[in-house]
Amino acid sequence: MAASLDGFIARKDGRVDWLETSDEFAGGDTLDPEFVEAFLKTIDCYVMGSRTYETALSFEAKGFGWAYGDKPTFVLTSRELPRTRDTVEFYSGDLAQLVNGRLRPSFRSIWFVGGGAVSGDCLRLELADEVRYSILPILIGDGIPFFEKLDRDIALHLAEVKAYKSGTLALCYEVRGHRASHRTPPPNDSLQSMPSSGRG
């Protein structure tokens, strides 16, 4: 997920206009499109909140395309939302049951796109093996936090740090007590990170 330096993934109203910010860090890496393509092939399915889904649809409507390809995409929502492709499925039940009972037996790499409520739920329910966090070079002051409603400390282990020429800093943490099943460097750059704006 992409976030501002002060830890927000969207403004209070869900806008992610600040994602367009960029910096120039001469010592940073350049993101190789072939690496991004190879990395995305390792993801078997996506899980996201409804507001993240709506943001993805708005990006598609603006001509940016559908960021999740033809991979199965599960949208957590109790609202009626437009279904624009056969790969999208809506789910309103228990998240742990979805992940442990249905997704884990079928998919090796489950990518949680967010938003903040989904991220918080994943950690509270001990469903996450890794946290990949792209910090953009901007402070927005207020908004939707990266992790909502955590009820305890979550111990992490820093596994990787990478800086990009755009000024984005990509962090990969392993969740202590979990064995991460796949550890590939994250394809994080300000142009590659898909915004997340909550569950809803």
89, pLDDT greater than 60:
yes
CATH code for residues 2-175: 3.40.430.10
Closest by alpha carbon to 123, among 74, 97, 156? 156
**Helix (H, G, I), strand (E, B), or coil: what is residue 182?**
coil
Give the DSSP per-residue string, 47-60. EEEHHHHHHHHHHI
Parallel, antiparallel or unpaired: strands 73-76 and 169-175: unpaired
What value does the CA radius of gyration of the chain take, rounded to a whole number of Å?
16
Order of strands, edge to edge, in the sheet holding 156-163? 2-4, 130-136, 169-175, 156-163
Mean pLDDT of 13-25: 90
What letter represents residue 119's amino acid?
A: S
Task: State mean pLDDT over 133-147.
Answer: 94
How far apart, in Å, are the Cα atoms of 179 and each of 91, 128, 157, 182? 27, 10, 11, 9
Full-model pTM: 0.82
Give the pLDDT confidence score for residue 196 in this predicted structure.
Answer: 44
pLDDT of amino acid 149: 83
What pLDDT was estimated at residue 151?
84
- Omega of the bond prior to 27 within 30 degrees of 0, cis? no
The answer on pLDDT for 179 being more than 90 is: no
Chain centroid, CA 114 distance in Å: 5
What is the per-residue pLDDT for 178? 56
Mean pLDDT across the chain: 87
Buried b / exposed e over 137-150, threshold 16 CB at 10 Å, is bbebeebbbbbbee
- Sketch the domain layout of the chain as residue ranges: 2-175
